[in-house]
Amino acid sequence: MSEETTRRIWLCADDYGIAPGVSAAIRDLIARGRLNAASAMVVAPGFTWDKARPLVDLNAGRPRTAIGLHVTLTAPFAPLSPGYAPVDANGAFLSLSATLLQAMARRFDMQALRAEVEMQFAAFHHTFGRAPDFVDGHQHVHLFPQIRDCVLATMQALTPQAWVRQCGRPSNMPLSLSDPKGILIDRLSVKFRRLAAQRQIATNSGFAGTYAFREDADFARLFPSFLEGLEEGAVVMCHPGYVDAELARLDPVTTLREREYAYLAGDTFLQDLTAAGVSLATPPV
């Protein structure tokens, strides 16, 4: 299929920096031309310039990857800003479910929330020496009420040229009742897109990549369905990685990351892109 007839998308690996094995796998796939975006978790323990530099170096000579900020506001990670609340008994952010309930009830202190979001933007700039190309959220927290307002306001003030990930399905794709997470973030994205547009912040055209992180999940079988109906500029989310002790300590999604990596590194992935008429977009210079 000719380049003129393909739809160019962003295939984004989330969680860069969460653990050495995840970061190494993401860099390997970028070097192979299998990913064109990665979002960095600046609140991860030990995330420093030494961890970021190998990712930056991949863009030396020619752009290989867009680099984004993965706003993180859920446990087991801890706030960067002093005095952030509420936190759990370990001083970490609340769990995902508690964070969602807090946001839906609009119980966050907006000043403290905005300070934390701004601190994560500042940490990204300090580490990478520039603003992010795009912004998204760990476990999609950037879509939640109150949090979305802080993220979008911070983007408008600090990174107006960046785009932000909305997680609405392609307009021609029906909702899947087997994907409750996808349904939730699709609905949250309706207002999120409207708020982003009001601030003149660009969003991706569509989104795919959610699935139940069960041990029997078959990423290789699921991936072609993610490409169906995508328009130019859409985002497909993925979570490749090698399992190491740090990942096992911080995140329950472990061996599935290795399955995602194996598929994305293999020939079937390239065949699936071609069959779907999809190619990876060229990152910004």
Residue type, 16: Y
129-151 pLDDT, tens per residue? 999 999 999 999 999 999 999 99
pLDDT in tens, 183-220: 899 999 999 999 999 999 999 999 999 998 888 899 99
Range of the domain at 93: 3-280
Does 174 have pLDDT greater than 70? no
Q: What is the pLDDT of residue 175?
A: 66
pLDDT digits (tens, 9 = 90+) for 259-271: 999 999 999 999 9
For position 62, which CATH number holds? 3.20.20.370
φ, ψ for residue 134, nearest 5 deg: -155, 170
| Domain presence at residue 100 | yes
Residue 269 within a domain = yes
What is the rounded average pLDDT of the residues 149-169? 97
pLDDT reported for residue 177: 62
Instruction: Tell me whether residue 285 is in a domain.
Output: no
Domain count along the chain:
1
Residue 56 lies in a domain: yes
pLDDT reading at 84 higher than 90: yes
**Percent of all residues in the chain with a pLDDT value above 70, rounded to a whole number:** 95
What pLDDT does residue 3 have?
46
Band (pLDDT 50/70/90 cuts) for residue 1 is very low
Q: Is it the case that residue 181 has pLDDT exceeding 90?
A: no
Residue 223 lies in a domain: yes
